[in-house]
Amino acid sequence: MNVLGIETSCDETAAAVVAEGRLVRSSVVSSQIDLHARFGGVVPEIAGRAHVELLMPAVAEAMARAGIERPDAVAVTYGPGLVGSLLVGLSAAKGLAMAWRVPFVGVNHLEGHLFAPVIEEPGLPWPLVVLLVSGGHTLLVEAAAPGRYRLLGQTIDDAAGEAFDKVARYLGLGYPGGPAIDRVAREGDASAFSFPRAMLGEGYDFSFSGLKTSVVRTVERHPSASTPDVAAAFQEAVVDVLLTKAARAVRAVGAKGLCLGGGVAANSLLRRRAPEAVDVPTYLPSMAMCTDNAAMVAAAGTFRLAHDGPSPLSLAADPNLFLDFSEDFSEPEA
Ligand code: KG4
Ligand code: ZN
């Protein structure tokens, strides 16, 4: 069964064809980073308009590369994300499903990210803990099996990637900030400053806005501080908090593996430290699977279709969609 996946929740316009829920036949991603870079972040109006221009060419290319003229179903992200961007993909997916007379299925973008490791690692051991860290989300999830999740914790303010982007902008390193900080931090001394690790000892939630403020205060107090040192110390604090909580979650739920996902999972320090932080295998997706793509949406859509059946064509975009908790989970100890 070939499923066409469509993803337009933020600033990547993506289409992909996935067979049997796991085999990526094609995956096309048109990034809009260049359009947004001069504004220092994603501009929703520009994103929506760019999706309109880029989506159908991406779909045509995904279908051509997969060598098919009609998929067996169409899956699309319907939330969370920017409403104007979601609507572009959702409307196109409904229209295509109607024209082709195939089932249509809506996918939660966060569940899409949770399917990225399923595509790349066929022999995943369950249960897993997944640390999903991007510009929009910071989630710690227990996954008992595909489709069975429990949200352990999330950020109470900025997402991890957002913290990278804001600190990079403050340090004059440009957008997107994560790769820039990652790069300059290699030249810096992470022990030059000690930034706060908020909520380190308690629970599974995260807070990064105080860390950002602390960076600003430190630079104000030490105007001649070396940017690489500040970047390295900031990165160290973020990675420390992420992995301390992920490791605690792995122990508490008795997970057999730790998966990373989202754009921040590209961070070189995080990737290097993750295997040292836990004594279970770590699964670090390829870059293309960490960041937003439509293959993960097609994979999650295949699962949802088999599990719950098609979605109604009246399905609305939901900018604030949550990840559903599954029933039958016992509380892990914090
Ligand atoms: O998953 P993603 O491509 O888009 C969404 O936010 O959904 O994630 C983008 C985020 C940005 O905040 C970017 O700064 C961050 O991922 N990022 C990184 C690195 N590469 C991308 N953060 C830290 N280190 C990196 N190497
Ligand atoms: Zn995402």
CA 133/CA 161 separation, integer angstroms:
7
Q: What is the mean pLDDT of residues 25-54?
A: 84
Give the mean pLDDT of 263-274.
96
Per-residue model confidence (pLDDT) at position 199: 93
pLDDT for the residue 40: 75
Domain assignment of residue 333, yes or no: no
Residue 25 in any domain: the answer is yes
pLDDT band of residue 39 (cuts 50, 70, 90) is confident
Three-state SS letters, 301-322: HHHHHHHHCCCCCCCCCCCCCC
Name which of 9, 29, 174, 17 is nearest 81 in CA terms: 9
Does one domain contain both 202 and 304?
no
First to last CA, the chain: 42
Q: Ligand 2: distance of its center to the CA of 278 in Å? A: 25
Pair (88, 155) in one structural domain: no
How many domains does the chain contain in total? 2
Average confidence (pLDDT) over 137-154: 94
Backbone angles phi, psi at 184, to 5 degrees: -70, -25
Same domain, 18 and 96: yes
What is the chain's mean pLDDT, rounded? Answer: 93
CA 304 to mean position of chain CA atoms: 19
- 283-302: pLDDT as tens digits: 999 989 999 999 999 999 99
Q: Are 138 and 160 in contact (CB under 8 A)?
A: yes
pLDDT of residue 257: 97
Least-confidence region, from 155-164, 294-303, 304-313, 325-334: 325-334
Q: Are residues 241 and 295 in the same domain?
A: no
CB 6 within 8 A of CB 301: no
Given a cut of 60, whether residue 334 has pLDDT beyond it is no
User: What pLDDT, on a 0 to 100 scale, did the predictor assign at position 326?
Assistant: 63
Shared domain check, 205 and 275 = yes
Domain annotation covers residue 108: yes
Q: How far is the CA of 135 from the centre of ligand 2 (A)?
A: 8
Cα(51)–Cα(9) distance, integer angstroms: 9
Q: pLDDT per residue over 303-320, tens digit each?
A: 999 999 999 999 999 999
Tokens for 80, please give them: 């969370």
pLDDT more than 70, % of the chain: 97
Q: How far apart (Å, rounded) are the C-alpha atoms in residues 164 and 157?
A: 13
DSSP secondary structure letters along 277-288: H-SS-EE---HH
Angle at 189 (CA atoms; ends 169, 220), nearest 5 degrees:
45
Ligand at shortest distance from the CA of 108 = 2
The answer to whether residue 229 sits within a structural domain is yes
Contact 164, 242 (CB under 8 A): no
- pLDDT class of 327 with cuts at 50, 70, 90: low
- What pLDDT sits at residue 329? 56
Instruction: Tell me the backbone φ, ψ of residue 278, rounded to 5 degrees.
Output: -130, 155
Domain extent at residue 76: 2-114+291-308
Nearest ligand 1 atom to the CA of 159 is: 12
Identify whether 286 is part of a domain: no
Tell the residue nearest (CA) to atom 26 of ligand 1.
Answer: 267
Distance (angstroms) between ligand 1 centre and the Cα of 290 equals 9
Residues 108 and 208 in one domain: no
SS3 228: helix
- Asked whether the bond before 179 is cis by omega within 30 degrees of 0, the reply is no
Q: Verify that 80 and 176 share a domain, yes or no.
A: no
Amino acid at 124: L
Q: Is residue 163 part of a domain?
A: yes
Domain co-membership, 139 together with 274: yes
Q: Which residues line ligand 1 (CB under 6 A)?
A: 10, 134-136, 161, 164-165, 176-179, 182, 262-264, 266-267, 291-292
pLDDT tens readout for residues 171-212: 999 888 999 999 999 999 999 999 999 999 989 999 999 999
Q: Please indicate, yes or no, whether residues 173 and 60 belong to a single structural domain of this protein.
A: no
* Three-state SS at 81: coil
pTM: 0.92
For residue 134, give the CATH number of its domain.
3.30.420.40
Q: How confident is the model at residue 333 (pLDDT cuts 50, 70, 90)?
A: very low
Residue 321 in domain: no
